[in-house]
Structure 1
Amino acid sequence: MPRPRSLSHAGLAAAALAVIDRDGLAGLSMRTVAKELGMSTMALYRYVRDRAELELLVVDLVLGRVDSTPPPTELSCRERIEVMVRRLRDTVGAHPEIVPLTVVHRHRSTAGLRWTETVLGLLAEAGVEGHRRVVALRGLIGYITGAIQLEHLGPLAGAGTVALAELPPEEFPHLRQTARHAREVGADREFLGGLALLLRGLGL
Structure 2
Amino acid sequence: MPRRRSLSQAQLAAAALTVIDRDGLAGMSMRAVAKELGMSTMALYRYVEDRRELEGLVVELVLSGVDPAPPDPAAPWRERLETMVLRMRDTLGAHPEVVPLTAVHRHGSVSLLRWSETVVGILADGGVEGGRRVIALRGMTSYVIGALQLEHLGPLAGEGTDVIAALPKDEFPVMAATAADARGIDPDEEFRGGLALLLSGIEG
Give the aligned length.
202
Equivalences for residues 8-19 of structure 1 within 5 A: 8-19=8-19
**Residues 67-96 of structure 1: CA deviation (Å, up to 9, x unaligned):** 010001121100000000000011111111
- Of all paired residues, the percent bearing the same amino acid is 67
Tell me the residue number matched to 1:199: 199
Instruction: Output the aligned Cα RMSD.
Output: 1.4
Tell me the residue number matched to 1:69: 69
Cα shift at 1:8: 2.0
Whole-Å separation in 2 of the counterparts to 1:45 and 1:201: 47
Matched, 1:152 2:177: no
Whole-Å separation in 2 of the counterparts to 1:181 and 1:157: 9
**Residues 150-200 of structure 1: CA deviation (Å, up to 9, x unaligned):** 100131122101111111222211111111110100111101111111111
TM-score (norm 2): 0.95
Gaps of 5+ in 2: none
Tell me the residue number matched to 2:103: 103
Note if contact 2:78-2:203 (Cα within 8 Å) is conserved in structure 1: no
Whole-Å separation in 2 of the counterparts to 1:34 and 1:185: 42
Whole-Å separation in 2 of the counterparts to 1:105 and 1:198: 24
Gaps of 5+ in 1: none
Whole-Å separation in 2 of the counterparts to 1:203 and 1:112: 23
Tell me the residue number matched to 1:179: 179
TM-score (norm 1): 0.95
Note if contact 2:155-2:186 (Cα within 8 Å) is conserved in structure 1: no
**Residues 112-146 of structure 1: CA deviation (Å, up to 9, x unaligned):** 11001100110111111111111111111111111
Whole-Å separation in 2 of the counterparts to 1:107 and 1:17: 19
